[in-house]
A and B are shown apart, each in its own frame.
Chain A
Amino acid sequence: MVRNPFGDDDSPELTTVLDALDDEDCRDIVSVLDEPMTASEISDESGVPLSTTYRKLELLTESSLLYEGVEVRPDGQHASRYDIDFEEVVILLDENNAFDVEIAHRARTPDQRLENIWSEVRKET
């Protein structure tokens, strides 16, 4: 399931982002991602058990720290690959003295956007 693939504009919940950042497994996952990887590759590289990896990946994509791309394979076994999707996380104080979170995303190139748009259209077929 591609979670909110076009959600560049709506920021995730502060608590979700803080949960992800406070989690050692999540940080290990981010540290091994130097290219797009599948969940099992991430699990192998980071040493986080696969079932835990799935949960952490969900938390990280929900926080919009990671980006989930669907790799379309000819045999129909589509695999999700995850990649880092942020440059910086800013915690700031809004006008009501409440905490707010802003995540600066990496620029999406047109070919990445085409992949996203098309993977959403594919779900309708």
Chain B
Amino acid sequence: MPHIPSSQIGVVVAQTLILVIGGLITYYSYKAYSRTGSPEHKWLTAGFGIVTLGAVLGGVLDLGVERYTAGDLIYTSVFVSSSLTAIGLGIILYSLYVR
């Protein structure tokens, strides 16, 4: 078991919370979609899913993959998570206009 710096523990806790909370919102949106079948809920589910996925993926890249590779992936992980957040929020906005 490799040593984890205390600063990384905070990141892991936050990522876990994002996974659980974002996952629940996505799940409820999906259930609303399967009941109403409306495109708004489909895009809402996709948006929340991508935001959640992006944050968690960023953390996995930074803390997980980095341990087994030589390079520093901090910028890559910030880039991945923030771009997916931007895309996800864009899709959530789109869900308000879709017909």
The complex places the Cα of A116 from the Cα of B32 at a distance, in Å, of: 11
B96/A113 in contact, CB under 8 A: yes
Contacts of B97 in A (CB 8 A): 110, 113
B40/A9 in contact, CB under 8 A: no
A6-B36, A124-B28 are contacts. A117–B99 as well, Cβ < 8 Å? no
9-48 of chain B: CB within 8 A of chain A: 25, 28-29, 31-32, 35-36, 38, 40-41, 44
B25, B31, B36, B99: most-surrounded residue (chain A CB, <10 A): B36
73-99 of chain B: CB within 8 A of chain A: 95-97, 99
B40/A117 in contact, CB under 8 A: yes
Interface string of A61-83 (1 = CB under 8 A from B): 00000000000000000000000
* Chain B residue at minimal CB-CB distance from A121: B32
- Count A/B pairs, Cβ under 8 Å: 37
A113/B40 in contact, CB under 8 A: yes
Closest-CB distance, B33 to chain A (whole angstroms): 9
A120/B96 in contact, CB under 8 A: no
The complex places the Cα of A22 from the Cα of B62 at a distance, in Å, of: 67
B28/A117 in contact, CB under 8 A: no
Do most interface residues of chain B lie in helix, strand or loop, or is the interface mixed? helix
Say yes or no: is A114 at the interface (Cβ < 8 Å to chain B).
yes
A6-B38, A117-B41, A117-B44 are contacts. A124–B32 as well, Cβ < 8 Å? yes
Interface string of B58-81 (1 = CB under 8 A from A): 000000000000000000000000
A8/B32 in contact, CB under 8 A: no
* Chain B residue at minimal CB-CB distance from A4: B36
The complex places the Cα of A8 from the Cα of B38 at a distance, in Å, of: 11
Contacts of A124 in B (CB 8 A): 28, 31-32, 35
Contacts of B38 in A (CB 8 A): 6, 120
Known: A117-B44, A121-B25. 6 other contacts (CB 8 A): A5-B36, A6-B38, A110-B96, A113-B96, A117-B32, A124-B32
B interface, CB within 8 angstroms of A: 25, 28-29, 31-32, 35-36, 38, 40-41, 44, 95-97, 99
